């Protein structure tokens, strides 16, 4: 470890052979500091070296980006008194050039500082470890993991569709869009693609990404069973800091052959990366919604191209961007950049579930579950089968209200209602977290008859248990209804134990949010029901129909995944959808499981409206003490942009409040920026940055707490 002494004033002595070192740091937000700060070191430090440097009164972790010799007594050194690097963590191999290029691209494209991206990509515990502590950990890893070679267990026989997909993945460059129906065996393609890679190149590494933490345990179990525990590590925010550091070190040293993770794993340091898999590539969870708002899916494609690694994007309902990029050549259209691989058939000759639409306009008023749906669930319980009921709203009811004076459970800090949670008798805001006990009477008029309005998963679970009480399981025991959502899985290990109960057959009806709709391989579920999906049909967000179709089709895919089980039961898989708009084109495509037809319709509308993927967008967001201040800042920013080069190629729409305009007493507004040229949009955003920093110091910036740019936003 490099240790150097400082002079009495805290500056380095002018010694021959000193070096000027450019270091990427996570500097304070909107400090308008350069991407890299300069320090001196008595010896050359290779780019990618982790160092500790003084910043203000603190000592922080940084990444060396460049180093140049600095002659003793030179004018450059005399002009600026540079501080000295405090220490270098040189027991750790430097971060490679490919990793630095990925970070630099992400910082440029998503309009964030280099240091913010670089430091966020590193395990948090690295910031606190001294060089000696890090050396001890590295020594323990070397002695405990001498051999992490992946020894693949025998693979299952590939179906003809899987075999053709694997053949093309080996023969062609990609990137590949693996368009496989739910239950078609996309995971087996991933496993065999990784196995073939490691058989060819035992030192190669593969990155496999999933959209959400709750999908990692089952995927990790399959990869460990196939390749052994030593070869596989996980990287996601649900791990403890020591666990994340251990996994990151194993990947960085090349000891881990396979890294499984969520969106943060796209920045994992993997020096011999040769394959990237992005499962459920359509999922909005791949887009970071705080801080640096990057898309892990898009960065995975860029990283694969930059590092010569093959990229597989897998989904039964691809994002419209990826679907458009994988279009075949036709006429004057040269086609997309991706290679589309189709796997339309389910493994084991299983059929996709029949979709049944229930017209709620024909049901009695206030019907929650139609009689036909209840009867179908009861029949399955009596045969020992499982059902899944999907409602994408947690809590007992979205609002508590007084029928006398009209009081509602508004959050005092947000422009949203607090959700009623019956299980702990609280009103809880899902935006700022503010919670209070349910009042005994209306706070406004004293009426004791305040009542829930609408329903969430808690109420649905309770309602189902009451309605199904007369039904019994084959052994005569009562029905068991369980709920899986963000509330029921809050405790560590709760999700794993609840999923295990479902897999073991201890649950007859599973109620939940979108957490249960994606990726899970439930073998005994033969019926899936969506209770109230209509809200997204008429949303102001143009992506809402795409997300709804994907969610419903993914939910349907949880039913009838085991053809042998269905045959033994003499059952058929079904998807029930309760809707008041059964003639909507989205449901027509869903009944046929026809994603291509749905995608074609949506893309036709988007082309006519000049929306992505036929245009490129960014949002300029401002948070302020008042809505007027937020919008004034955005409008002033728009006026300032008029003078920028190429501003005429970028449309800037008027500033508007967000759908939920106040969160935690902060007012929020946004401005949509759009262009038919990605390059023109990026040029304007890059020129805009210094103007936005300057606006904070003008009257128009008064009251503004923060601003940010969201490139390729997923929600508008």
Domain with CATH 3.40.1440.60 in the chain: 2-128
Pairing state of beta strands 2-3 and 87-88?
antiparallel
Burial tier of 18 (Cβ tally within 10 Å: 0-12, 13-18, 19+): buried
What pLDDT was estimated at residue 7?
33
What pLDDT was estimated at residue 182?
85
What pLDDT was estimated at residue 444?
92
pLDDT greater than 70 at residue 407: yes
User: What's the maximum distance between 2 C-alpha atoms anywhere in the chain?
Assistant: 91
Per-residue pLDDT of 186-222, as tens digits, reads 999 999 999 999 999 989 999 999 998 877 888 888 9
User: Which ranges of 291-334 would DSSP assign to H, the alpha helix?
Assistant: 296-307, 320-325
Distance CA 121, CA 115 (A): 10
Residues 6+ apart with CB under 8 A from 584: 537
What pLDDT was estimated at residue 325?
96
Query: How confident is the model over 484-505, as a mean pLDDT?
Result: 85
What pLDDT was estimated at residue 76?
47
What pLDDT was estimated at residue 141?
66
Q: How far is CA 636 from the centre of its chain?
A: 33
Domain 160-347: give its CATH code: 3.40.50.300
Q: What are phi and psi of 241, to 5 degrees?
A: -60, -45
674 contacts 620 by C-beta, under 8 angstroms: no
- CB-based burial, 578-588: b 16+ in 10 Å, e otherwise: bbeebebebbb
Distance CA 79, CA 71 (A): 13
Burial tier of 436 (Cβ tally within 10 Å: 0-12, 13-18, 19+): middle
Query: How confident is the model over 671-688, as a mean pLDDT?
Result: 96
157 contacts 92 by C-beta, under 8 angstroms: no
User: Which ranges of 504-594 would DSSP assign to H, the alpha helix?
Assistant: 544-556, 563-569, 585-591
527 contacts 377 by C-beta, under 8 angstroms: yes
Query: How confident is the model over 343-351, as a mean pLDDT?
Result: 81
Distance CA 692, CA 272 (A): 40
Per-residue pLDDT of 606-639, as tens digits, reads 999 999 999 999 999 999 999 999 999 999 999 9
Domain with CATH 3.40.50.300 in the chain: 160-347, 350-394+457-608
- Give the 3-state secondary structure of residue 52: strand
Architecture of domain 350-394+457-608: 3-Layer(aba) Sandwich (3.40)
- DSSP codes joined into one string, 91-130: TSPPPPHHHHHHHHHHHHHTT--HHHHHHHTS-GGGGT--
Q: What are phi and psi of 694, to 5 degrees?
A: -65, -35
pTM beyond 0.85: the answer is: yes
Query: How confident is the model over 555-559, as a mean pLDDT?
Result: 84
Percentage of the chain modeled with pLDDT above 70: 93
133 contacts 245 by C-beta, under 8 angstroms: no
Burial tier of 591 (Cβ tally within 10 Å: 0-12, 13-18, 19+): middle
What pLDDT was estimated at residue 142?
63
What is the pLDDT confidence band of residue 152, given thresholds at 50, 70 and 90?
low
Phi-psi region of 348 (alpha: psi -120 to 50; beta: other; left: phi over 0): left
22-31, 40-49, 449-458, 627-636: the lowest-pLDDT one: 22-31
Per-residue pLDDT of 364-403, as tens digits, reads 988 889 999 999 999 999 999 999 999 988 899 999 999 8
- CB-based burial, 530-548: b 16+ in 10 Å, e otherwise: bbbbeebeeeeeebebbbb
Element (H, E) at 222: helix 216-227
387 contacts 528 by C-beta, under 8 angstroms: yes
Distance CA 388, CA 377 (A): 9
- DSSP codes joined into one string, 148-186: ----PPPPPPPPHHHHHHHHHHHHS---EEEEE-TTS-H
- Output the CA torsion 335→341→346→347 (10° steps): 180
Query: How confident is the model over 98-105, as a mean pLDDT?
Result: 97
Domain with CATH 3.30.70.360 in the chain: 616-711
- State the distance between the two ends of the chain, measured CA to CA, in whole angstroms: 48
14-23, 169-178, 674-683: the lowest-pLDDT one: 14-23
Tokens of 464: 């189902």
More confident residue, 71 or 137: 137
Q: What are phi and psi of 117, to 5 degrees?
A: -65, -45
Instruction: Give the chain's length.
Output: 716
pLDDT greater than 50 at residue 11: no
Contacts 24+ apart (CB under 8 A), 403-409: 403/447, 403/449, 403/451, 404/442, 404/445, 404/447, 404/449, 405/442, 405/444, 405/445, 405/447, 407/442, 407/443, 407/444, 407/445, 407/450, 408/453
More confident residue, 57 or 337: 337
What pLDDT was estimated at residue 532?
84
Distance CA 45, CA 64 (A): 7
Percentage of the chain modeled with pLDDT above 90: 64
More confident residue, 429 or 566: 429
What pLDDT was estimated at residue 144?
53
pLDDT greater than 80 at residue 185: yes
390 contacts 530 by C-beta, under 8 angstroms: yes
What is the pLDDT confidence band of residue 681, given thresholds at 50, 70 and 90?
very high
What pLDDT was estimated at residue 252?
94
What pLDDT was estimated at residue 151?
65
Architecture of domain 616-711: 2-Layer Sandwich (3.30)
Secondary-structure class of domain 2-128 per CATH: alpha beta
Q: How far is CA 515 from the centre of its chain?
A: 13
What pLDDT was estimated at residue 563?
78
What pLDDT was estimated at residue 99?
97
Round the CA-based radius of gyration of the chain to a whole number and report it.
28
The mean predicted confidence, pLDDT, of the chain is 89
85 contacts 51 by C-beta, under 8 angstroms: yes
Distance CA 444, CA 404 (A): 10
CA distances from 543 to 100, 278, 397, 612 (A): 33, 20, 26, 10
């Amino acid at each position: 470890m490099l240790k150097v002494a400082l002079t009495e004033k805290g500056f380095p002595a002018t010694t021959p052979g000193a070096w000027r070192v450019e270091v990427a740091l996570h500097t304070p937000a909107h400090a308008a500091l350069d991407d890299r700060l300069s320090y001196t070191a008595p010896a050359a430090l290779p780019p990618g070296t982790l160092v500790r440097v003084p910043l203000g009164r603190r000592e922080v972790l940084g990444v060396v980006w460049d180093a140049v010799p600095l002659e003793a007594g030179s004018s450059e050194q005399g002009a600026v008194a540079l501080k000295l690097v405090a220490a270098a963590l040189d027991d750790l191999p430097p971060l490679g050039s490919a990793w630095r290029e990925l970070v630099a691209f992400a910082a440029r494209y998503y309009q964030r500082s280099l240091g913010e991206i670089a430091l966020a990509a590193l395990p948090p515990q690295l910031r606190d470890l001294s060089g000696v502590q890090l050396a001890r950990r590295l020594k323990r890893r070397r002695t405990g993991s001498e051999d992490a070679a992946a020894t693949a267990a025998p693979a299952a026989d590939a179906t003809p569709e899987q075999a053709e997909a694997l053949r093309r993945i080996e023969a062609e460059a990609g990137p590949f869009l693996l368009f496989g129906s739910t239950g078609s065996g996309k995971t087996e393609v991933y496993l065999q693609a990784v196995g073939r890679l490691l058989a060819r190149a035992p030192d190669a590494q593969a990155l496999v990404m999933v959209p959400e933490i709750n999908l990692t345990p089952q995927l990790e179990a399959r990869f460990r069973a196939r390749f052994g525990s030593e070869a596989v590590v996980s990287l996601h925010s649900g791990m403890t800091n020591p666990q994340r550091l251990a996994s990151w070190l194993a990947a960085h040293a090349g000891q881990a052959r396979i890294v499984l993770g969520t969106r943060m794993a796209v920045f994992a340091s993997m020096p011999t990366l040769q394959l990237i898999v992005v499962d459920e590539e359509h999922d909005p969870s791949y887009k970071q919604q705080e801080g640096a708002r990057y898309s892990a899916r898009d960065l995975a494609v860029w990283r694969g191209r930059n590092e010569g690694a093959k990229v597989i994007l897998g989904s039964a309902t691809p994002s419209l961007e990826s679907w458009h990029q994988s279009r075949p050549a036709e006429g004057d259209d040269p086609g997309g950049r991706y290679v589309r691989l189709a796997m339309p058939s389910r493994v084991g000759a299983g059929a996709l579930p029949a979709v049944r639409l229930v017209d709620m306009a024909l049901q009695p008023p206030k019907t929650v579950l139609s009689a036909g749906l209840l009867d179908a669930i009861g029949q399955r319980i009596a045969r020992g089968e499982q059902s899944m009921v999907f409602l994408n709203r947690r809590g007992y009811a979205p609002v508590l209200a007084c029928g006398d004076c009209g009081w509602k459970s508004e959050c005092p800090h947000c422009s949203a209602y607090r959700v009623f949670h019956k299980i702990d008798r609280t009103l809880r805001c899902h935006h700022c977290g503010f919670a209070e006990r349910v009042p005994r009477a209306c706070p406004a008029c004293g009426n004791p008859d305040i009542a829930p309005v609408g329903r969430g998963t808690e109420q649905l679970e309770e309602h189902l248990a009451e309605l199904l009480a007369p039904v019994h399981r084959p052994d005569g025991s009562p029905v068991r209804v369980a709920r899986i959502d963000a509330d029921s899985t809050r405790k560590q290990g709760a999700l794993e134990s609840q999923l295990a109960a479902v897999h073991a057959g201890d649950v007859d009806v599973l109620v939940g949010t979108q957490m249960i709709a994606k990726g899970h391989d439930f073998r005994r579920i033969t019926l899936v029901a969506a209770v109230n999906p209509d809200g997204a049909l008429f949303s102001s967000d143009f992506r809402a129909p795409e997300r709804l179709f994907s969610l419903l089709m993914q939910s349907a895919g949880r039913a009838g995944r085991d053809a042998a089980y269905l045959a033994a039961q003499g059952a058929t898989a079904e998807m029930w959808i309760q809707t008041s708009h059964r003639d909507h084109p989205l449901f027509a495509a869903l009944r046929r499981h026809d994603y291509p037809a749905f995608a074609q319709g949506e893309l036709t509308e988007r082309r006519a409206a000049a929306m992505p993927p036929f245009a490129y967008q960014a949002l300029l967001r401002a948070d302020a003490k008042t809505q007027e201040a937020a919008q004034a800042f955005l409008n002033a920013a728009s006026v300032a942009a008029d003078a920028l080069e190429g501003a005429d190629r970028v449309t800037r729409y008027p500033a508007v409040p967000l759908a939920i305009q106040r969160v935690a007493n902060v007012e929020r507004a946004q401005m949509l920026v759009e262009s038919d040229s990605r390059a023109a949009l990026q040029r304007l955003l890059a020129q805009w940055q210094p103007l936005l920093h300057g606006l904070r110091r003008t009257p128009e910036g008064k009251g503004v707490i923060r601003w940010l740019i969201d490139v390729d936003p997923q929600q508008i």
